[in-house]
Amino acid sequence: MEISYRINNIIFSVLISLTLFTWLLGQTELVGDITEKLSAKTIFIILLAVAVIKVQLIGDFFMHLNSVKGFWRWIITLWVTLTGGFIAIAFLF
Amino acid sequence: MYIQEQIERKYPPGDLALWIFICAELLVFAVFFAAYAFTRANNIELFNQFQATLNTDLALLNTIALLSSSYFVVSAIIAIKENKQQQSSRFLLFAILGGATFLVLKMTEYSHHMSEGINLTTNLFYMFYLSLTFFHFMHVILGVMILIVLWINTRKGTYTAEEHDGLVSGGAYWHMVDLVWLILFPLIYIMR
């Protein structure tokens, strides 16, 4: 899919919103209630999932990989799965 | 024409050699991130204690600066596809400003740490924090230099709607620098 100004604006807005969400989650005094109700592991999984989604959006739309077929289509997905997987194992087990 | 389209779909846009370089860079960062995470697993208290000393507000601003910069690079590519060189060079200038903002903010952070006597030998957390962020910092410097070259070329009219592979390749490198930070930011500043 060829990226247009409109799609670029939408992806950028999503990326900024997810970034602010990550930052807010890190401010425990601001989101104290949420962090008290949810376990630390759940918070970690949410943070990691948000980071993975952001990386995938950059790969798909900013790097135009959503218009590629075959091995190269999945190169960023492969990287973020590998990296996220290592981080998840280290934090959760 | 049909064969050419098939080839274009099979490979990412821009120079394939640069994509192989990007893959190598990503692999190195993956190893560093895994090393940080597994070392932290054996020193959780130490990492949590010193992670709390980091400035997450500056890290947020840094993330916004890099994302904005990437946004302007994509806008510059869209503009060049419409043969609007002047508009494209203006977008690239904003992208350079985004990168420069990141560098200034990070240097402010480093100078604060240095004034507190913090260095690579302070403890295991700071060893990882300083080496990982500085390794990324060096990539941002290279990325900004590439953006400056792209900006100069765009002003000279080197890229057109038909031929702009250089711009796309340079942009891909810049996006790589951005996406590495998108993992680095939560991993080092936020995750506990």
Neighboring chain B residues of A72 at a CB cutoff of 8 Å: 10-12, 19
This model of the complex carries an ipTM of 0.93
**Contact with chain B for residue A13, Cβ under 8 A:** no
Mean pLDDT for all residues in chain B? 94
The answer, yes or no, to whether residue B51 has pLDDT greater than 80, is yes
Q: Dump the DSSP string for B54-101.
A: S-HHHHHHHHHHHHHHHHHHHHHHHHHHTT-HHHHHHHHHHHHHHHHH
- Residue numbers in A near B78 (CB within 8 A): 3-5, 8
**B133 within 8 A of B112, measured Cβ to Cβ:** no
B133 neighbors B29 (Cβ within 8 angstroms): no
- Our count of domains for chain A comes to 1
Q: Which two tokens stand for residue A54?
A: 């952001």
Pick among B20, B67, B178 to test the A interface (most A CBs inside 10 A):
B67
User: How confident is the model at residue A1, as a pLDDT?
Assistant: 58
Say if residue A56's pLDDT is above 60. yes
Q: Which residue of B has its CA nearest to A25?
A: B190
The reported pTM is 0.93
Give the number of other CB atoms < 10 A from CB of residue A52. 20
The whole-angstrom distance between B115's CA and the closest CA on chain A is 25
CB B157 within 8 A of CB A57: no
pLDDT in tens, B6-17: 455 789 999 999
Q: Does pLDDT of B62 surpass 60?
A: yes
Contacts of A66 in chain B (CB under 8 A): none
CA-based torsion, A40, A50, B30, B185: positive or negative:
negative
Can you list the domains of chain B with their CATH numbers? 52-190 (1.20.120.80)
Q: Which residue of B has its CA nearest to A85?
A: B34
At residue A35, the pLDDT reads: 47
Secondary structure string (H, E, C) spanning A34-83:
HHHHCCHHHHHHHHHHHHHHHHHHHHHHHCCHHHCCCHHHHHHHHHHHHH
Rounded mean pLDDT of B136-159?
A: 97
The domain of A40 spans 5-92
